[in-house]
Amino acid sequence: MDYLLNKFTSTGPKKLKIAVIGQSNFAADVLELLLSDGHEVVGVFTIPDKGSREDILAVTAKNYEIPVFKFPVWRKKGVAIPDVLEKYKSVGANLNVLPFCSQFIPMEVIDGAAHGSICYHPSILPRHRGASAISWTLIEGDQIGGFSIFWADDGLDTGPILLQKEVSVEDSDTLDTIYKRFLYPEGVSSMGEAVRMVAAGTAPKIKQTEDGATYDAPMFKEENQIINLNQTAKGIFNFVRGLDSVPGAIAYAINEDKEEVMIRLFGAQLFNGPVPEGQPLQMKGLKKPALVTEAGLLITGTDGKIVNIQRVKKGSKMISSSKWFDQSSGQVTLELTDAEKTIETSLKAIWESILKVDITDDTDFFACGAGSMDVVRLIEEVKDAYDVTLENETLFMAPTFQEFFTQVILVSRQGSSSGQINVEFEGFVLKANKREIPIPTQLFVNGKFIDAENGRTLDIINPATEEVLCKVALASKNDVDKAVKAAYDAFKGSWAQVSARQRGHLMFKLADLMEQHKEELATIEAVDSGAVYTLALKTHVGMSIDVWRYFAGWTDKIEGSTIPVNPARPNNVLTFTKREPIGVVGLITPWNYPLMMLSWKMAACIAAGNTVVIKPAQVCPLTALKFAELAVKAGFPAGVINVTAGTGSITGQAIADHALVRKLGFTGSTPIGKKIMASCAESNIKKCSLELGGKSPLVIFSDCDLEKAVRLGMSAVFFNKGENCIAAGRIFVEDKIHDEFVRRVLKDLKTMTIGDPLNRSTAHGPQNHKAHMDKLIEYCDIGVKEGAKLVAGGKRVPGIKGYFFQPTVFIEVEDHMYIAQEESFGPVMVVSKFSGSNPEDIIKRANNTEFGLASGIFTKDISKALLFAEQIEAGTVFVNTYNKTDVAAPFGGFKQSGFGKDLGKEALNEYLKTKCVTIEF
């Protein structure tokens, strides 16, 4: 080992006069580090401007008033140019530092400084000598990478070693990742370390061995970038990642005319698992065609293993390889606010400062000569200027200014309430309630409205007129698979990049849009489901808006806990829990409150950080589809919310069975709930929550406020046409007031207006669909046959079109009767007497059912009320009120009414999983 002579005094190392020779951000950071160490940088030598674009090293040097020299070449025909050499000598450097240098520097300069020249090289020399060392580290599949700082000589990276550092090369590493995580930050600090060693006289000169030396081809030459596809999958994978993210491995696709089309490959992954369906793509050098799938472009190596290519560049356009056969542009256009127009202007200025060219909408970032560090600079400047966090990949997928600007605005809207997005879809215009409302009728998958497989549709009937409103796309099993995979990709990708607080902003934005469109949404609910418009406005839509705002407030308050545990001394232990989203959630919602049931479940689900595939009710999916349009306008990333209209047996079953769905939330009948639960268990033991049938008891004691009991008792039964999961299915009235209670109910029924749900005076609209109305007629017939006394209604409203069913009252109902045991889910009041002498007896009768969703009691005796609340087997208990739900109060049943909670803080638990972490120290 040969050491430099220590030319410094015994007082310590002297500061050096340094010439920095190189380019790029790396060299600029080294320059600033040397200055901070107290050295004098006497001159900076860098490359000439590209057009009006000055290298960042030159810009940094000028900021410190350091002389800058820009030479296109240093020598001609191997001989140093005298003028160039003279300018170099004029600065009087005693050490040359070459942090990142792409030019050939003559030996007169290399040896022109008293302490010589030190150079950074991104490999463990002597392996991978040459200009493309990082790429070859990956292409050759090296498990160890790193960098060397060596003393420059007249060879190609052959000088003595001063300093080397190593790093393990991970399977997931690309040129970009290994550079950012190790070669750049460690390299900068190590250049400073090396200069300090030179200044101290302790810098070694270790002669390079020739053992294991390689001289690799430069990858900046296009002919060297062509990939050999006739090799193993690992070889293909390594070559692609070695050129990722710039310039990309070159391959040739064969088009329909048998012409070779040059493309570049990016984002390689070794693929495991079953091969999905896809379309074949002929590629030069492949005996077996590649396969374009939803997962990506699958290429089979000579060993039979598969590489997945995520992105493909054709010309200047980067696309997801899964979209090779569908390269159309997106379906959204932006309407800019004044503030966003200002962003457009300032963003153009950022592009101009980096590219040094005039920027138009079609300006391509990479076609202007930008490199990987320019990408980093742009992403960082956007983050600083607009508080918008993007991935480097965003620019590769949107390389033109207009495409990139669109992405900046879409992400910025996740944290604001500004801007408009127009959404393209096929649908129809609902002309009702003095409005013209455009409504989508396609499936909503991965941020776009699309047709169902084979164009299948189902008819949607207006229950008030029995006429076909429209035809809505009918999702197949394959359609559900597309939606689930889109949700899965979003959960792992774009949605994971959205912070908890940004989720809250998105949800608030969505709630604001629902508020702006509430009259439209209520009109759709009235026409599609038969809900009375005024009720739809207040409850169906109003409570939906409330629930989105409520859970928006929870997004950044989902916390784990720190748990004191018993450590094994002398060690200490830290144990804490994390609350994490489950993943893809399937939701299946009923037809009685289409938008509200969607919101009750989805708002908690989204707040917790999950993505969603929802199947709305087959008979009334229109508000769910209109909601999807609003979700796009709110700025939700593609794939986060997916709406697959269809049947329960096909669409719903496909969601329940899908292996990527990890949680299923269902509201519906108990028999279907049992099938859902079985499917959850058999598919992948997915978590499920079930809100099922009810036969909720309402007990009215004689000491109640009778006027209030009649009014709220009728509401408990007839609210929303009786299509209400917590409807009072059994009313127990104390014998002392039974007859008066019934008399008042029958009197008030005569004043109830039945008719068009859009009419503001209507109190009772049509039942949701014909099959349900027929079921109600059968239900009442059974009641009569079993001996209950029908005192009102029991049949279809005569003389008018539509599924209108008369409000119905049965008295003298005994507990064993069918109508006392089974839910009608319609406007049927079932009244039974009881004696008030023994309150516990009536509680037993109220509990004599397999259902346990809700319950109610009217009494002025607080003891009776508390006894009832304590002993009743129901998830909700109302005292001297009914139907009074709130978004902050948990809602859910016991027994065969299901399990799990909607609403309130507890609802978040349905969509979270708990991870326990233990650290010993």
pLDDT average, residue stretch 299-318? 89
CA 182, distance to chain mean position in Å, is 29
Structure token pair of residue 602? 């989805």
pLDDT average, residue stretch 582-595? 98
Single out the catalytic residue among 691, 723, 734, 873.
691
pLDDT number for residue 273: 82
Euclidean distance between CA atoms 453 and 921, whole angstroms: 56
pLDDT number for residue 327: 53
Pseudo-torsion of CA 116, 120, 123, 125, nearest 10°? 0
CA 171, distance to chain mean position in Å, is 25
Cα distance between the two ends of the chain: 41
Q: What one-letter code names the amino acid at 215?
A: Y
- How many CA atoms lie less than 13 Å away from 119 in the CB half-sphere? 29
Question: What average pLDDT is seen over the chain?
Answer: 92
Single out the catalytic residue among 725, 738, 780, 873.
725
pLDDT number for residue 415: 55
Structure token pair of residue 486? 């889109």
pLDDT number for residue 10: 40
Pseudo-torsion of CA 718, 724, 728, 730, nearest 10°? 100
Residue 239 has pLDDT above 80, yes or no: yes
Count the Cβ atoms, other than its own, within 10 Å of residue 179.
Answer: 20
121 is catalytic: yes
Dihedral class, residue 65 (left if φ above 0, else alpha if ψ from -120 to 50, else beta)? left
- DSSP type of residue 50: B
Beta bridge partners of 698: 731, 856
Three-state SS across 200-237? HCCCEEECCCCCCCCECCCCCCHHHHECCCCCCHHHHH
Residue with tokens 């689900």: 605
Euclidean distance between CA atoms 389 and 566, whole angstroms: 41
pLDDT number for residue 398: 81
> Please, which residues have CB within 8 angstroms of residue 229's CB and are 6 or more apart in sequence?
236, 251, 283, 284, 285, 286, 299
Percent of the chain with pLDDT over 90: 80
pLDDT number for residue 366: 78
**DSSP one-letter string for 530-541:** ---HHHIIIIII
Closest CA to 871 of 910, 843, 907: 843
pLDDT number for residue 481: 96
Q: What's the pLDDT band for 3 if we cut at 50, 70, 90?
A: very low
260 is catalytic: no
Of 47-51, 199-203, 452-456, 834-838, which range is least confident?
47-51
Structure token pair of residue 222? 């296009």
691 is catalytic: yes
Residue 185: is the preceding peptide bond cis (ω within 30°)?
A: no
pLDDT average, residue stretch 829-840? 95
Report helix angle 338-355 to 401-412, nearest 10: 130
CB contact at 8 A, 619 and 461: yes
> Please, which residues have CB within 8 angstroms of residue 739's CB and are 6 or more apart in sequence?
none
- Taking the model in full, what pTM does it have? 0.69
pLDDT top residue among 725 and 315: 725
- Convert the pLDDT of each residue in 154-173 to its tens digit: 888 999 999 999 999 998 88
- Convert the pLDDT of each residue in 844-896 to its tens digit: 999 999 999 999 999 999 999 999 999 999 999 999 999 999 999 999 999 99
CA 475, distance to chain mean position in Å, is 22
Give the DSSP H/E element, type plus range, for residue 319.
strand 317-320
Euclidean distance between CA atoms 72 and 51, whole angstroms: 13
Count the Cβ atoms, other than its own, within 10 Å of residue 368.
Answer: 18
- How many CA atoms lie less than 13 Å away from 203 in the CB half-sphere? 28
> Please, which residues have CB within 8 angstroms of residue 194's CB and are 6 or more apart in sequence?
118, 149, 162, 163, 203
Give the DSSP H/E element, type plus range, for residue 338.
helix 338-355
Q: Is 173 exposed, middle or buried (0-12, 13-18, 19+ CB in 10 A)?
A: buried
Q: What's the pLDDT band for 659 if we cut at 50, 70, 90?
A: very high
pLDDT number for residue 330: 44
Q: Is 339 exposed, middle or buried (0-12, 13-18, 19+ CB in 10 A)?
A: exposed
Report helix angle 738-749 to 706-718, nearest 10: 60
Residue with tokens 């649908």: 427
Residue 102 has pLDDT above 90, yes or no: no
pLDDT average, residue stretch 110-114? 95
Paired sense of beta strands 117-121 and 144-151, if any: antiparallel
Pseudo-torsion of CA 118, 121, 125, 127, nearest 10°? -150
Torsional sign, CA 429, 432, 436, 442: negative
Q: What's the pLDDT band for 614 if we cut at 50, 70, 90?
A: very high
pLDDT number for residue 11: 47
Q: What's the pLDDT band for 506 if we cut at 50, 70, 90?
A: very high
CB contact at 8 A, 381 and 340: no
pLDDT number for residue 7: 37
pLDDT number for residue 412: 80
Residue 247: is the preceding peptide bond cis (ω within 30°)?
A: yes
pLDDT average, residue stretch 431-446? 96
Residue 338 has pLDDT above 70, yes or no: yes
pLDDT average, residue stretch 654-681? 97
Single out the catalytic residue among 39, 115, 121, 658.
121
**597-636 b/e with 16+ CB inside 10 Å = b?**
bbbbbbbbbbbbbbbbbbbbbbbbbbbbbbbbbbbbbbbb
Euclidean distance between CA atoms 675 and 633, whole angstroms: 36
Alpha-helical (H) ranges within 531-652 are 533-535, 542-552, 594-607, 622-634
